[in-house]
Each structure stands twice: as C-alpha cells, then as structure tokens.
Amino acid sequence: MAALMQALGLTRHFGGIRAVDGVNFRLEPGEIHAIIGPNGAGKTTFVSLLSGRIPVQSGSITLGGEDITRLAAHVRVKKGIAYTFQITSVYPKLSVFDNVALAAQSAGARDLGGQVAAALARVNLAGLEDHLAGNLSYGHQRLLEVAMGLALKPRILILDEPTQGLAAGEIEGFKALVRSLVPETTVMLIEHNMEVVMDLATQITVLNFGQVLATGTPDQIRANPDVQSAYLGGHDAEG
C-alpha cells in the first residue's frame, strides 16, 4: 500500500551546510510520528520541505501517491497538510473565533460557524470565541493554533515543538488531545521533550546532521546504541 506521505532522497543545503541530506521518510495513515534529533539536526528544515515552506533541491515528496514536490505551501494546505509553528502564530488582535475562521475559510469551509465551533470544542476552547487571541495564556494560544490547524481538516497535522513553554498539567492535556486526533488525522511532531515523545509517538525518526540515524518504535529507538550516543545520552533539541 502507498504511504500517506513519502519522501525519497530529500535534500536541502544552505551554503556548505547540509541541513537535509538525502532523507528517506515514510508516514503511514493514523500514526503519531515524532521527529527528534540534536541541535542543528535538520528537523525544522525537513518538515518545512514536507509542508512546502522551503523548496526542495533534490528528491521527491508524495502525498497519497501524488507527487507534491513542487507544489506551493498553500496548495499543500488544500491537499490536507497543516503545519503549526514552533512559535505561536495566532493573530493577537483578532478574536479566537476569527483566528480559526480565517483558517477554515482558507480551506474552503462550507459551514464556517460549525467548523470553527467544532475545532474549538476539540481543543477545549469552547466559550472563548469572543476573547482576543493575544489575551489568552501561552498554553491556550498553543491550543488555539492547533484549532486553526484542525479547521483546515488536515490529513496530516505537523506540530513543531508543541509542548514548548507549557506547564506539566497542560502537557498532559495536550497529549490527550493529540491521541484523540488519530486515526482521523495523522500527526507528525518535532518535540524536544523526550518523555512526551516516548509516551505519545507510535513511530520515531531520529535525524542527525541532516540524515536519518534511525526509525522505529519508541522501544526500538530507546535500545538503539547509535541514538543513545548521538542524542539520548544528553541532549537539547532545536533545529
């Protein structure tokens, strides 16, 4: 069967830096697939290539068997790829409702009010529709961003450092939310919190120096000596 998304030989260099260097990647429907790796491993560049925010230099990307390698980011959104950013990207001077409505409109929503209400209910922000996004707590802004992603009705939701800045209680709620999204939505996440990764992910891909170091289940990744020496022995995780 065709993967939901597949990358073959994906490459992106910046000057002499090989940010993504011949990466092969396969995303199956209904997975929660984490991308991890040390600083500068190429994680954010990699998902930016998948979402179309950065053009591919070589290699290919398919979505449900369709070649999307050269498609613009906004076209990929319409095909079902939603990407929430490492730093919250809400519109602070607009209401919570309007933030989600803008996303839903961009995806061609037919029942705008219903779609917004459903997305907000999914992330437990129902009742806050009239609040200014900029007045929400940081944790609620992250949830609003996920609601904006869900309003696109994505096949794939890419979350970049979603638990960064969240309190412990908020992280537990976030994990429950992500689990509730599958199998209807397939989730990819870049995440530095290894407890979250090991508890949440069904598959993990480890990047190191722009290349795939290992892919497997959390247990397989924990037991992999190459991963232990490169990353799990002592790490932090931007990139």
Taking residues 30-46, what's their average pLDDT? 92
Please give the helix or strand (H or E) that residue 14 lies within, else none: strand 5-14
User: At 20, is the pLDDT very low, low, confident or very high (cuts 50, 70, 90)?
Assistant: very high
Lowest mean pLDDT among 33-42, 127-136, 178-187, 229-238: 229-238
pLDDT of residue 203: 97
Q: What is the mean pLDDT of residues 57-61?
A: 96
Instruction: Give the model confidence (pLDDT) of 90-144 as tens digits.
Output: 899 999 999 999 988 877 778 899 999 999 999 999 999 999 999 999 889 989 9
- Residue identified by tokens 């996920």 is 146
One-letter identity of residue 233: G
60: helix, coil or strand? strand
- Enumerate residues 6+ apart whose C-beta is below 8 A from 75: 52, 68
Cβ atoms 215, 209 nearer than 8 A:
no
Q: Give the pLDDT band (50/70/90) at residue 22.
A: very high
Q: Residue 70 is encoded by which pair of tokens?
A: 């050269």
- Matching CATH number, 30-55+68-80+154-239, of 3.40.50.2000, 3.30.420.10, 3.40.50.300, 3.60.15.10: 3.40.50.300
Residue that the structure tokens 């994505």 belong to: 154
Query: What is the layout of strands, in order, in the sheet containing 66-67?
Result: 17-27, 5-14, 58-63, 66-67
pLDDT at position 179: 95
pLDDT of 108 reads 75
**217 close to 204: Cβ distance less than 8 angstroms:** yes
Distance separating alpha carbons of residues 146 and 2, to the nearest angstrom = 27
pTM recorded for the entire structure: 0.89
E strand residue ranges, 47-104: 58-63, 66-67, 81-84
- Looking at the predicted structure, is the pLDDT value of residue 86 above 70? no
The pLDDT value recorded for residue 88 is 60
Cβ atoms < 10 Å from Cβ of 122: 17
Domain residue spans in the chain?
Answer: 30-55+68-80+154-239, 91-152
| Contact predicate 225/214, CB 8 Å | no
